[in-house]
Amino acid sequence: MASDNNAKGYWSATLGLLTKVLVIWAVVSYGAGILFAPMLNSIHLGGYPLGFWFAQQGSIYIFIVLIFWYAKKMGDIDRKFGMQED
């Protein structure tokens, strides 16, 4: 039964992390690049409007950081529940 609770806790933590990653991904890709672009365009970064920058380059940088953050947090979850690879 303890193994069942461990598995449920592991999947709960994993799905929680995945939900956070997908929400950040959606906000950055759809929100910053499309929905909030007119508001962000009043700010300039490197000579370009911030909304345009997010749509073209900024979201890619955020996604790369998100990949490394996900890998680190997933490793933490694996170690917490004893699921790490040796």
pLDDT at 18: 96
pLDDT at 76: 94
Return the axis-axis angle of helices 59-80 and 2-26, rounded to nearest 10°. 170
At 76, the amino acid letter reads D
Q: What is the mean pLDDT of each run of 10 residues along the chain (86 residues)?
A: 77 96 91 83 85 83 95 94 79
pLDDT at 86: 65
In angstroms, the CA 28 to CA 51 distance is 11
pTM of the model: 0.79
Q: What does the domain layout of the chain look like in residue ranges?
A: 2-80
3-state SS record for 11-42: HHHHHHHHHHHHHHHHHHHHHHHHHCHHHHCC
Kindly report the length of the chain: 86
Report phi then psi at 48, rounded to 5.
Answer: -115, 150
